[in-house]
Amino acid sequence: MNMSKLLGILLVTGALLAASGCAGNAKKVENGQPERNFNAPSLQVNADSKAREILAAIPQESLLERFETYDAAGRLIGYAALTDTTMGALVFVDGKLLGSLSKQHAQAFYICRGHVMAIAKRYWASEAGAWLETLLANVRPESAVLLEFTGRSTMQSIKSATENPLLGGLKAIIGMGTNPLKVISTLNNARDQYQASEQFADEEKGLSQLRPGMSEQRLVRVARPQDLLFVDGGMVLSYPSHRVDYFMAAGSIRVIQQPSFYFLSRTNAALFYAPGTRWTDCTAERWPQALSAEEIKEVAREAATESTAIPQP
């Protein structure tokens, strides 16, 4: 074979490989799902699953948010919204699987509650009963689900949202300064160093043992708040370094919210944005109408495009 023929074959082969790669990316974005890493984990959830164990087992690169609180009937509600699975969220009642939420509704629920925090300076947990009532009305009953994670982190995941290198304040702790304009104080030069400290490990363990209904004093004995917000009906004790908020009322924990909506609303409010959102519907009663299925597909395509592989050990 002469050199010109060999060169021609190599060029054709390269073009075919490039075309197949582009087609793969187009399919990935069209489906709104990042392609799975070959060793990406899966998680089976059924009637015997315990909510706390499932919430803890979901990889942070696949987790949009999670919270725990009690509804008006005194039932413990657990919620986990996902970034890279076919379903939008899982809902648990008294520790057992109740059902799932569509991608459309999980995104609308997240965006509208963040919008209320960022624009109106109202923390959603102040009206938790109304938000939960609408949430539970839109749950699809499930007896068992299989969560197939991609092993990739999207821009909305807790992992990415709280570690975005463009947000310098995310490697610092939020301080309780008296000047509201100075919301970020560099009490730590590197979040990694703080995470490696014995204090951080002790706090992380103590915070993981807290439940809604426990006292404010018990929370503060574990760790003093890194930021504070007074709202209607209570106050928010915020721990950005641990990616969590605690909504307090009458001296007890009412809602445990991760990531910290209070922190994100001031440092990365764009996470609570989707094109075409009907902002007037972002209320506790009407949020399921705020986004259409087509708008959710666009959000998913953008997230898929921005996804990054998570190194495996």
Give the pLDDT confidence of 23-73 residue by residue, as tens digits: 333 334 444 555 655 566 889 999 999 999 998 888 888 899 999 999 999
| Residue 195 confidence (pLDDT) | 56
| Residue 150 confidence (pLDDT) | 81
Q: What residues contact residue 26 under an 8 Å CB cut-off, 6+ apart?
A: none
Q: How far apart are CA 2 and CA 27, in angstroms?
A: 38
The two structure tokens encoding residue 9: 């074959």
Tens of pLDDT, residues 210-251: 999 999 999 999 999 999 999 999 999 999 989 999 999 999
What is the rounded average pLDDT for all residues in the chain? 78
| Residue 159 confidence (pLDDT) | 61
pLDDT at 280 over 60: yes
Containing H/E element for 7? helix 3-31
| Residue 120 confidence (pLDDT) | 82
The two structure tokens encoding residue 23: 């087609």
Q: How far apart are CA 245 and CA 91, in angstroms?
A: 19
Mean pLDDT, residues 169-184: 40
CA distances from 299 to 59, 151, 211, 271 (A): 21, 19, 33, 11
| Residue 17 confidence (pLDDT) | 36
CA distances from 91 to 47, 120, 305 (A): 12, 27, 28
Q: How far apart are CA 78 and CA 80, in angstroms?
A: 7
Tens of pLDDT, residues 108-158: 999 999 999 988 889 999 999 999 999 999 999 999 999 988 877 665 666
What DSSP string describes 105-116?
Answer: HHHHHHHHHHHH
Cis peptide preceding 259, ω within 30 of 0? yes
| Residue 227 confidence (pLDDT) | 95
| Residue 160 confidence (pLDDT) | 60
What DSSP string describes 196-227?
Answer: HSHHHHHHHHHHHT--TT-BHHHHHHH---SE
Q: Identify which of 188, 176, 190 has the alpha carbon closest to the alpha carbon of residue 262.
A: 176
| Residue 40 confidence (pLDDT) | 64
Mean pLDDT, residues 266-278: 91
| Residue 100 confidence (pLDDT) | 98
165 class by beta-carbon count within 10 Å (0-12 exposed, 13-18 middle, 19+ buried): exposed
pLDDT at 168 over 70: no
The CB density around residue 17, as the number of other CB atoms within 10 Å, is: 10
pLDDT at 83 over 70: yes
